[in-house]
Structure 1
């Protein structure tokens, strides 16, 4: 059903039947080894009426899962029967019985019907062996784990968390989404958000994680630290890891209705790995580039024979030099996820993780005055900071989520996330260009700082009909809070030099003043509370409307080391509407128009500003968007036209960071993900953007670090002469960017290339995958933006064994 999550689809399918005849439609597919779970007694299900389907060809397990969810039926199948089998998919209007037969065409399998449940067995010509089976609810993490596989061209059909609205079909969501799934993360050997932002069609890295600061992303020309984990908001975070993530979901554009106060550029949601329905043991050993050797263990499965309790454990140890001189990463990660299927309607999910991330010689920050022309990028493989600069981030995180289906028409969702990040050691360098051939450098040491983050949700999903019109209402409360403790110890050398740009100048660590009297103090708190209600209204098979409002409130305070307010406390609320109209003229095409508003926390004055560190007032943003999503063969093609406006922030002539005027971004974006042919996979897209400042001292100028054109294409090709061997690679283009707010200095465009090979085989019956990736093959040095250099060439390799 359009626009409904699998859980909601199951409820909606039963809503029209008398209660005595209603059957809960649980989508079930066997994904585990023979020691599987005992199938639960199915609840009542509607008669197998005809519906429209558009399920692309791919691995049989994934196609069966998606069909069971959409059809609202129960399907049981042995894992051994689906392994290695492909399905032609399903398109057009079919009954559940005819659709299931079409999906199994050519697989050597056939369906059997027992009442309202279906079982997949070998066709009579096959010598069938009956093994214990498992059942997996179609709306659990098991379905997500079967999406976005390399065999399907990394194409997904579901967004795991559309903010407060929860799960939603990607094709039918009235927003612009892109997803980097688990197998793509593994195959490009991504180790930080920077690797995701590089290949994702709609994102760019603004502040790299290797800088030692929290990674910042640019979406639709707007900067954002904002992120979410499992749909729970965070304002920022240091030292992110990807080995324990199932996927990364990127929303382009305003997200105020879905996530609360955030940048108008978009939202990045990290989805954690959850327990698997079958036993999983995976060991990966490799090198992320330079000398960054690592080992990663990923283990999961059920604890008990009936699958009531499941676990997932990820362990990572990495240590070694990067491709940049003197730069080194030493990190450890341990994460645990537990699922408790207390009943078929009540599920409890728990998670915890610990991370210790140490880095030596972080990437240096560059600053150029408006009256200077930006020189050619210096050698990115050199350390333009100091070899003794280092920092450390220690993180501890806990998460809990409860989902309770009180009835076929009411689901309750409650979740809570808490994280502590301590930075016991941190040094920084900033380089100031003084001419086209020289730079000066500031070195700073900062005492211990820490952050405490918390996020929560309490939401209800209610479905019902008013005559022929179907409703799904989501309502409730969600929010987040971040607290920071700063140090009174932050001595600096001031800018010293100048030094030649021909080669970095390294000096001994200075004799810093004593920190005996230094202390940490409670410096700031920001809290965002949101009360929302939304109604997904379905008029017929073609037309739907999503309408809702969100009351969002930002409360912020800042204190100096003496406990006095360093700026006035802030408490502001905004009621933000969301209206989306959706039209499906055919099952493979969706068009939408969306208008929404949002509230955003004010920006933070950068280090080079007179009022460095000051948080400016919250801002209101508006967005208008028209979009299309079309399934063309095995490729999902998406396009959108957008118009976004927000308050403009910049450093004025007195070098004070202020808000004045409006920043307006108008543009078009297009993306394509999937298989062009059975052997050729593409993941790519382009954004054409016109950004202008209206009002303020820079009226008519373009904002800094906003290219007019970005274009990306990651591709894979399975070589026909060598089964299991694939050629991989990407080309990434970023257009010219203004390096100054006055538009007096411009950064040149740049293009980088990646190449790689992947070989999948079996050794003693166990899957083995070998990967080799060469990033920035030409070893080009370039300005990533006005503040940072791009990454030099690096070679990553790994071997992954599953058993």
Structure 2
């Protein structure tokens, strides 16, 4: 008899709400008390009206991505049980002498069982807590005719969609996990399967396939990444880790520890609070131990000569397997695709969790140490409108840059269900980050490639802490269902520098981008102990209500967040202090005329921490501006064809920008940039053998208010109007386990300056790959190979204030085995 996972746990509340444990201001305490009283009054009225969450969708409708060879029937049934998480009972005598055909592509568990049992005289039937394989004459009901609930954690993530590359949904801030058809935003959740198959080493490797996102850094040449989402910059320090902002490692984020990378596009202050970016949110979901033991070893190679090893272990133990541990360890070392550049990365991550009937807890610990020699310049700036042709993309340009990063993360989360309608949680995370770097600066490049180059040291540290606590309540008022989310959090950041100073510049040296040269270090490099040089405190309270009408065919989300920010920092000549607050509302609407069609709209504000003027030539030097507010209007339509889904979104985002008077040198926030755009996203299976992922994005980023109207109406620097992606995977029918893939990435031309005189050409990149899944010695083995930038094309990539150089042709090879 095959091992079964039996017993079905009740569905849990999907969304989470937090409440703050520390109140720093009288006004903050007063507002918190107001929301707390409202919550208490709500709870008083819930016993009779409380509505339990509906059961999870039957696993018979969930798509599985299968790649199983022709083999004995018992082995295939065992593999289906492990991959689906459903207990499948099979008497060994019934399987004797029977073989199963190969299973390739995306299908439901019921479809898979129909195929492997066809002609065997056996059929699948529900047994209440799982599935049983029986003789056809003994069957009572077939699998497709009943609802079968898998034994899954209350923390189970939205299941993968057809093709396995993205999930059906993801976290939407304080609203919790939502199906993509129920979300009034454009969101994409990328799976661990995609991360593994793309042999990703950092977030940029995963998001490269999203048409609304572009990496603003040179992938392998730099020590960190930043992104543009809908044409607005997104800093990696703003990424959320299991809902906690700013506590995940900031440099070359270790994706090997992640189960999902969820991208929410557009401002979202109500959902996630204030950050240093308003472009959207990237939520990183940690791996958890699954129902079956996992021991996976992966060895890999990246050109020029970097070798790596990744060990992934998962176990559950204790009564009812309530306790789980997931361990990921990574080590990479060698030369990167950039000439004369080498790097080393060591990372360890441990994820512990407890899953009881009412109480659930998790603890994640991550530590990584990164070293990189001869880092590439963060950006290139040009002296004239005549932009020179880019140098070879594997060129290091200016040698001597270095990066040394050490980061540690700890994150805890606990949830408790008081009833089927009321739950609460507390979460806390901390990041300790220390970085010593030597940056390369290449500026004023002439048409012949000559430039002025500088090496500068930079010592920078962060201690970030984020605390969230709260509750979630479901109830009904007549025919209207309510999901009330109340959230509060506190974010504290303390920045550090070396006691001898944060940075120092070396001498400026002439060079040429076509002839790599050695730079010269500062005479007095930055050194000494770490000392604090500033703090940022952000506190907020928020409440949102999801009102559902007509059996969930109409969902209206209304909410508001009150945000407080306080900042202290050092500038030339002394220190400055700043304190302010702001309200940020949101309204979202989802209308589903059919279960497979969603129409949505939202109005939401973004809130960006005010900047500090650091200009000794200005009388405003040291001035801190109040928070920036951005507004987004968005409408869209989503269609789910069952195995293929598509989303079309139209949006407008308006945000203030900083201006400086060219005569008085006075600064203001009177500028404005307006981004209007349309996005088309698609994912899933076009056929059982062909999967697709991609889309098109068009953004008109217009400078609508400028100093003296000088550049009004121009396209904002660094933002191309057109971005398009198309990735396909073909599961070769003639060769069981073989999958071929290809991807094309197109980015249009962009301006590098507000005057729109410096223009770089658009570019197209092609990638190809293949993987082969098989069994060797009874073990599941997968071989993967990828070539990025197949034609080794050299091109400039526009960023805010300059450009970066493309990554060269890169070969990636790996092999993984499950023990």
TM-score (norm 1): 0.84
Is 1:410 the counterpart of 2:422 in the alignment?
yes
Shift of 1:371: 4.0
Q: 1:609 to 1:28 in 2, by over 3 A?
A: farther
Q: Which moved more, 1:620-629 or 1:476-485?
A: 476-485
Is 1:315 the counterpart of 2:329 in the alignment?
yes
Is 1:630 the counterpart of 2:639 in the alignment?
yes
Name 1:175's counterpart in structure 2: 185
Q: How do 1:748-787 and structure 2 match up within 5 A?
A: 748-785=761-798, 786-787=802-803
Q: Which moved more, 1:20-29 or 1:476-485?
A: 20-29
Q: Give the distance between the partners of 1:451 and 1:190, measured in 2 at CA.
A: 26
Name 2:593's counterpart in structure 1: 585
Q: Which moved more, 1:545-554 or 1:317-326?
A: 545-554
Does structure 2 conserve the Cα–Cα contact (< 8 Å) formed by 1:277 and 1:310? no
Of residues 157, 163, 166 in structure 1, which corresponds to 2:168? 157
Report 1 or 2 for greater relative contact order, CA contacts < 8 Å, sequence distance ≥ 6.
2
Q: 1:332 to 1:288 in 2, by over 3 A?
A: same
The superposition leaves residues 682-720 of structure 1 with CA deviations (integer Å, 9 ceiling, x where unpaired) of 110111111111122232211101111000011111122
Does structure 1 conserve the Cα–Cα contact (< 8 Å) formed by 2:164 and 2:191? no
Shift of 1:359: 0.6
Q: Which moved more, 1:481-490 or 1:760-769?
A: 481-490
Is 1:8 the counterpart of 2:51 in the alignment?
no
Does structure 2 conserve the Cα–Cα contact (< 8 Å) formed by 1:136 and 1:142? no
Of residues 347, 370, 383 in structure 1, which corresponds to 2:360? 347
Name 1:599's counterpart in structure 2: 607
Shift of 1:493: 2.0
Q: Give the distance between the partners of 1:606 and 1:197, measured in 2 at CA.
A: 33
Q: Which moved more, 1:777-786 or 1:78-87?
A: 78-87
Name 1:548's counterpart in structure 2: 559
Q: How do 1:602-621 and structure 2 match up within 5 A?
A: 602-603=610-611, 617-621=626-630
Does structure 2 conserve the Cα–Cα contact (< 8 Å) formed by 1:457 and 1:477? yes
The superposition leaves residues 580-633 of structure 1 with CA deviations (integer Å, 9 ceiling, x where unpaired) of 121111111111111111211235779999999997542001011001111124
Of residues 657, 668, 685 in structure 2, which corresponds to 1:675? 685
Does structure 1 conserve the Cα–Cα contact (< 8 Å) formed by 2:717 and 2:750? yes
Q: 1:553 to 1:664 in 2, by over 3 A?
A: same
* Partner SS state of residue 207, structure 2: helix
Q: How do 1:222-241 and structure 2 match up within 5 A?
A: 222-225=232-235, 226-234=238-246, 237-241=250-254
Which structure 2 residue ranges, 5 or more long, are not aligned? Answer: 1-9, 17-44, 67-76, 118-122, 140-147
Of residues 470, 475, 478 in structure 2, which corresponds to 1:467? 478
Name 2:40's counterpart in structure 1: none
Q: Give the distance between the partners of 2:367 and 2:125, measured in 1 at CA.
A: 46
Does structure 2 conserve the Cα–Cα contact (< 8 Å) formed by 1:27 and 1:65? no
Shift of 1:656: 8.9
Q: Give the distance between the partners of 1:782 and 1:608, measured in 2 at CA.
A: 36
Is 1:389 the counterpart of 2:420 in the alignment?
no
Q: Give the distance between the partners of 2:264 and 2:280, measured in 1 at CA.
A: 5
Does structure 2 conserve the Cα–Cα contact (< 8 Å) formed by 1:208 and 1:216? no
Q: Give the distance between the partners of 1:758 and 1:791, measured in 2 at CA.
A: 23
Does structure 2 conserve the Cα–Cα contact (< 8 Å) formed by 1:350 and 1:400? yes
Name 2:135's counterpart in structure 1: 124
Is 1:269 the counterpart of 2:283 in the alignment?
yes
Q: Give the distance between the partners of 1:608 and 1:717, measured in 2 at CA.
A: 59
Shift of 1:20: 14
Is 1:557 the counterpart of 2:568 in the alignment?
yes
The superposition leaves residues 72-103 of structure 1 with CA deviations (integer Å, 9 ceiling, x where unpaired) of xxx7545999998799978xxxxxxxxx9899
* Partner SS state of residue 336, structure 1: strand
Shift of 1:460: 0.8
The superposition leaves residues 117-139 of structure 1 with CA deviations (integer Å, 9 ceiling, x where unpaired) of 443100324999xxxxx996545
Q: Give the distance between the partners of 1:788 and 1:612, measured in 2 at CA.
A: 30
Shift of 1:286: 0.7
* Partner SS state of residue 803, structure 2: coil
Name 2:583's counterpart in structure 1: 575
Q: 1:447 to 1:254 in 2, by over 3 A?
A: closer
The superposition leaves residues 458-487 of structure 1 with CA deviations (integer Å, 9 ceiling, x where unpaired) of 121101111111111111212422211123
Does structure 1 conserve the Cα–Cα contact (< 8 Å) formed by 2:246 and 2:431? no
* Partner SS state of residue 770, structure 2: strand
Q: Give the distance between the partners of 1:555 and 1:10, measured in 2 at CA.
A: 29
Q: CA RMSD in A?
A: 3.8
Q: Give the distance between the partners of 1:520 and 1:458, measured in 2 at CA.
A: 32
* Partner SS state of residue 421, structure 1: strand
Name 1:33's counterpart in structure 2: none
Q: Give the distance between the partners of 1:224 and 1:677, measured in 2 at CA.
A: 35
Of residues 316, 329, 339 in structure 2, which corresponds to 1:302? 316
Count of equivalent residues: 737
Does structure 2 conserve the Cα–Cα contact (< 8 Å) formed by 1:340 and 1:347? yes
Does structure 2 conserve the Cα–Cα contact (< 8 Å) formed by 1:431 and 1:441? yes
Q: How do 1:51-90 and structure 2 match up within 5 A?
A: 76-77=87-88
Shift of 1:55: 5.3
Q: Give the distance between the partners of 1:83 and 1:254, measured in 2 at CA.
A: 49
Does structure 2 conserve the Cα–Cα contact (< 8 Å) formed by 1:201 and 1:712? yes
Q: 1:432 to 1:58 in 2, by over 3 A?
A: closer
Name 1:365's counterpart in structure 2: 378
* Partner SS state of residue 503, structure 2: coil
Name 1:41's counterpart in structure 2: none
The superposition leaves residues 350-407 of structure 1 with CA deviations (integer Å, 9 ceiling, x where unpaired) of 1101100111111113343564422111111111121x32111101111110010111
The superposition leaves residues 614-673 of structure 1 with CA deviations (integer Å, 9 ceiling, x where unpaired) of 975420010110011111241110110001100124677589986431110011001101
Q: Which moved more, 1:605-614 or 1:728-737?
A: 605-614
Name 1:713's counterpart in structure 2: 726
Does structure 2 conserve the Cα–Cα contact (< 8 Å) formed by 1:155 and 1:636? no
* Partner SS state of residue 243, structure 1: helix
The superposition leaves residues 326-353 of structure 1 with CA deviations (integer Å, 9 ceiling, x where unpaired) of 1111010000011122x31101111101
The superposition leaves residues 119-161 of structure 1 with CA deviations (integer Å, 9 ceiling, x where unpaired) of 3100324999xxxxx99654545555x625xx734241131x2
Q: 1:530 to 1:370 in 2, by over 3 A?
A: farther
Shift of 1:58: 5.7
Q: Give the distance between the partners of 1:534 and 1:406, measured in 2 at CA.
A: 20
Is 1:729 the counterpart of 2:742 in the alignment?
yes
Of residues 85, 110, 114 in structure 1, which corresponds to 2:124? 110
Which structure 1 residue ranges, 5 or more long, are not aligned? Answer: 31-52, 69-74, 91-99, 129-133
Q: 1:274 to 1:350 in 2, by over 3 A?
A: same
Name 1:37's counterpart in structure 2: none
Does structure 1 conserve the Cα–Cα contact (< 8 Å) formed by 2:434 and 2:461? yes
Shift of 1:420: 0.3
Of residues 643, 651, 656 in structure 2, which corresponds to 1:647? 656
* Partner SS state of residue 365, structure 1: coil
